[in-house]
Amino acid sequence: MKNRPRQGTGRFDVAYWLMKTEPDVFSINDLKKQGQAHWDGVRNFQARNFMKSEMKKGDIILFYHSSAEVIGVAGLARVCREAYPDFTAWDKKSDTYDPRSSKENPLWVMVDVEFVEKFPHLVTLEEIKSSPQSEGMILIKRGRLSVQPVEKRHFDWICRIGRSQKGREKKLS
């Protein structure tokens, strides 16, 4: 994989994302078992635009379980195929069917993702919201957005918590 310059940075970087899924539909365990899967069904224009225009192969994803008893970041995935038309939008039997989209004029896109890591500790939304380290996260500002960019500092912080056995980082005295 070649790194590529990020717009306006003049640097070659990987970007970080948070992508939400309902674990009873598709969980981190499902991705681990399958190895890779397409991320379909995104029906928000801003989320679609992130996937279509900014998400690149090799970008790293915080895999977020939503609409569950306990919600939060369950692990990591990686983009392994860049945006292409979401064929579930054309399937009348699909829950995400959209009559405005067609093979000739696709309205929605999906990316393929591969499993990277399941965290020993689910980083809960409550933990994220209660920490001053989360300041500026889109997750806090625009909680319903299903695909969103994440700053490296937030990504690193969430990974530290998720990889710890006890969860929340101990405060230094």
Give the DSSP letter string of 112-149: EEEEEEEEEEEEEHHHHHHSGGGTT-HHHHSTT-SEEE
The total number of residues shown for the chain amounts to 173
pTM (global) more than 0.85: yes
The pLDDT value given to residue 9 = 53
Residue 3: pLDDT band (50, 70, 90) is very low
Beta bridge partners of 115: 77
The pLDDT value given to residue 170 = 42
Residues 28, 21: Cα–Cα separation, whole Å: 9
Is residue 144 predicted with pLDDT exceeding 60?
yes
- Provide the mean pLDDT of the chain: 90
Q: Higher-confidence residue: 6 or 164?
A: 164
The residue ranges of DSSP E strands in the chain, in sequence order, are 4-5, 12-13, 16-21, 36-39, 60-65, 72-85, 109-124, 147-150
Q: Which pLDDT tens digit goes with each residue over 55-75?
A: 999 999 999 999 999 999 999
Is residue 52 predicted with pLDDT exceeding 80?
yes
The residue extents of the domains of the chain are: 13-162
Residues 119, 6: Cα–Cα separation, whole Å: 28
Residues 80/71, Cβ–Cβ less than 8 Å:
no
Q: What are the C-alpha distances in Å from 140 to residues 41, 114, 148? A: 23, 26, 11
The pLDDT value given to residue 10 = 53
Question: The domain 13-162 belongs to what CATH superfamily?
Answer: ph1033 like domains (3.10.590.10)
Amino acid residing at 125: L
